Amino acid sequence: MQLSSEESAPQPSAELQAILDKSVAEVVQAYGGVAEVSIVGAIGEYGAGDAGGFAAWSTIKVPIAIAALKTNPGLAQQAALAIQTSDNPAAMTLWNSTTPEAVEEVLAQGGAPITVQRQYIRPEFSPFGQTKWTVAEQARFASHLRCVDGAGPVLELMGSITAGQSYGLGTFPAARFKGGWGPSALNGGYEVRQFGLVQDKEGRDVAIALAVRSGDGSYASGQTMASQLAALIRPALNTAPAAHC
pLDDT exceeds 70 at position 6:
no
Nearest to 144 by CA among 219, 45, 61, 213: 45
Q: What is the pLDDT of residues 37-75, one digit of tens each?
A: 999 999 999 999 998 789 999 999 999 999 999 999 999
Nearest to 135 by CA among 52, 243, 218, 20: 52
Please state the pTM of the whole predicted model: 0.93
In angstroms, the CA 11 to CA 139 distance is: 18
Give 60's Cβ-side CA count (13 Å radius): 31
Q: Is 219 helix (H, G, I), strand (E, B) or coil?
A: helix
Question: What are the residues facing 45 on neighbouring strands?
Answer: 40
Sequence spans of domains, the chain: 31-238
Q: What is the pLDDT of residues 89-139, one digit of tens each?
A: 999 999 999 999 999 999 999 999 999 999 999 999 999 999 999 999 999
Domain at 31-238, CATH class: alpha beta
Q: What is the pLDDT of residues 161-212, one digit of tens each?
A: 999 999 999 999 899 999 999 999 888 999 999 999 999 999 999 999 999 9
Q: What is the pLDDT of residues 75-101, one digit of tens each?
A: 999 999 999 999 999 999 999 999 999
- Say which amino acid occupies 170: G
Query: Across residues 139-151, what is the average pLDDT?
Result: 98
In angstroms, the CA 188 to CA 148 distance is: 35
CB 209 within 8 A of CB 38: yes
